[in-house]
Amino acid sequence: MIDSLYILDQKRTIIIEKHYKKPQIASNLIHRLINSDFIVKTGNCVLMTVPVNNLLFVSLVSSEAPPLGVFYFTEQLLQLFKDYFTDINDQILKDNFDIVYQILQEIIDNGEPYITEPCLLKQLVPPPSLLTRVINTIYQEKAPTSAVSTISWRQLGVNGIVFGQVECLCRLSGMPELILHTTGLKDSISFHKSVDIEKFNQGKGITFIPPDGSFQLLNYTMDINQNQIPFTIRANLIKSSNSKLEVSVNTKSHSFETLIISCTLPNANIVSSNATFTNKQLVWNGDGKLGVFIDGKIDFLVLNVEFRVNMTSLVRIDSLNVQNEAYKPFKGGRSFIKSGRFQVRVD
């Protein structure tokens, strides 16, 4: 359907072009052929133009195709750009040229629209963000999944990710060599420069000569499944003209330092002494059961959970040995898990 796609700025200079078939018109002639009409026929080709924020999105078609289909695809592309970049202008597209080009590469296959659902496309082309760039710099970037969900509007494997760290405080004299053995460390690990990577790859543990004082020995990422979450939240939203929310928490016998559940609501009456409601913000400490009578009907709700619990994380320290020194040091360790962005969606 679409042979080529061009994005031009207000000076009619091509910012980005992508060819899905053999180019039918030289790129340097495109700006001369465009006029105020949305559809322009030239030779055996048709140029279909959609103006947006001083930009021109031009689709070149050389075979029989429904015009509304081309314009609808352009609208889908614009929605994708807004989903990725919030706004659309020439500077944003230039600053994110690599992301834009990858999107254009994935959404069309041999001229036909292929992947236009945001949740599927984001598996192949991650949205730009400072966090994404930092993570991809520190950790090995995972290859995109080769399996695409049969449900086009929902991606496969929606889950959580653990970002872990091993922080050290060393007060040892001399030049000690430490050997740390752990369980659970797999891929996506970033070590302190003191670690002997060769010995680690040989399975001899994490060997290092530590700096004096506090330092971060390593950080890591790994997937997490539902069974590894240290609590269970049960929420029931009763929908009516005046909705009702019921929430209970099972902490699985863990002792939490912090457990706070919050959400945004319209006017509401709370049935719990451990919750507050101020400026439409409900905050609850997770103790007992929570009942909330809501003024008005709510069809969907997001609970934000903040927690910190003293328990073994996905990585466990098995042993720590000190070599090259005659003294016997004191060794101690502590593990805890705290929340990053954790949400429970209720409907």
Checking 48-54 for CB contacts under 8 A at 24+ apart, the result is 48/74, 50/74, 50/75, 50/78, 52/78, 52/88, 53/87, 53/88, 53/89, 54/9, 54/10, 54/89, 54/90
pLDDT: is 273 or 245 the higher one? 245
Here the contacts of 76-80 (C-beta below 8 Å, separation 24 or greater) are 76/107, 76/113, 76/116, 77/103, 77/107, 77/116, 78/50, 78/52, 79/118, 80/107, 80/116, 80/118, 80/121
Write down the pLDDT at residue 184: 80
How distant, in Å, are the alpha carbons of 6, 9, 49, 99, 165 from that of 56?
8, 6, 6, 19, 47
pLDDT in tens, 72-127: 999 999 999 998 988 899 999 999 999 999 999 999 988 898 888 887 788 788 88
Q: Could you tell me if 47 and 58 are in contact, meaning their C-beta atoms sit under 8 angstroms apart?
A: yes
Q: Which segments of the chain does DSSP mark as H helices, in order?
A: 30-33, 67-85, 90-95, 97-107, 118-124, 130-138, 197-201
Identify the band that residue 199 occupies on the pLDDT scale cut at 50, 70 and 90: very high
Instruction: State mean pLDDT over 155-180.
Output: 83
Query: How far apart, in whole angstroms, are the C-alpha atoms of residue 176 and residue 191?
Result: 18
Structure tokens at 274: 């451990």
The matching CATH number, chosen from 3.30.70.100, 3.30.450.60, 3.10.20.30, 3.30.540.10, for 4-131 is 3.30.450.60
Contacts by 130-137, CB closer than 8 A, 24 or more apart? 135/221
Instruction: Band the pLDDT of 131: cuts 50, 70, 90.
Output: very low
- In 3D, which of 6, 18, 115 has the Cα closest to residue 51? 6
Domains 4-131 and 160-225+312-334 share a fold: no
Domain regions of the chain by residue span:
4-131, 160-225+312-334, 231-310
pLDDT in tens, 253-308: 777 888 899 988 888 888 777 888 888 888 988 877 888 888 878 888 889 888 88
- Residue 155's pLDDT is 59
231-310: in CATH 2.60.120.10: no
Name the β-bridge partners of 106. Answer: none
> In terms of pLDDT, which residue wins out, 164 or 194?
194
CATH class in words for 160-225+312-334: mainly beta
Percent residues over pLDDT 70 in the chain? 88
Helix count (H) and strand count (E) of the chain? Answer: 7, 23
* DSSP letter assigned to residue 286: -
What pLDDT score was predicted for residue 139? 47
Q: According to the model, what pLDDT value does residue 267 have?
A: 82
Cα three-residue angle 291-293-294, rounded to 5 degrees:
130
In 226-299, DSSP assigns E strands to 232-238, 244-250, 256-264, 268-271, 275-278, 281-284, 289-294
135 contacts: CB under 8 Å, gap ≥ 6: 221
